[in-house]
Amino acid sequence: MYTGKTEKPCCLCGEPETAARIDIPPRALQLCKHSDPIAWQDIVGEVSLYLCEDDWELLEELVLEIGVLPLSRCNAARASFDLREDFEALLNDVRDEPDHQPLEAEMRADAEAAVDAARRGENVGPQRLVQARIVRWALDELDAARADSD
């Protein structure tokens, strides 16, 4: 029986004990390693990436100090997400392909709010700031790639 998303191992090293989680929009999964066979269009809700303590420190440094989008280093096979087919199997019902635009807009707005708050000197916490920057950079990169292909 389907029980929903479960915590996965670290998306960088596979360590089963994780210390942090970041959520990204489904479209951003394309930027992760080994994402080609995953039908990101069928993902319902956000994608969660879990990190062990050591890799969280590395990710935090890459994002906050160096300014690098680290998704290409994350293994999509270790991401946690719900697929539309899982719900169809549970409910015995065929569903339409999810519209990710509202989720992306919400995640982008939350990311902008976190970055703006950090710029004003408010304490938003490193985890929220890391997630905010990753979401913004990933969506910006994907939007630019889409514009180039049009």
- Number of residues assigned to the chain: 150
Domain boundaries, the chain: 20-83+98-148
User: For the whole prediction, is pTM greater than 0.95?
Assistant: no
Q: State the DSSP string of 31-67.
A: GSBT-TTS-GGGEEEEEEEEE-HHHHHHHHIIIIII-
Q: What is the dihedral of CA 16, 17, 22, 24, to 10 degrees?
A: 10
What's at 126, amino acid-wise?
P
Asked whether residue 101 carries a pLDDT value surpassing 80, the answer given is yes
The helix/strand/coil state of 120 is: coil
Per-residue pLDDT at 96: 66
Q: What does pLDDT average to over the chain?
A: 88
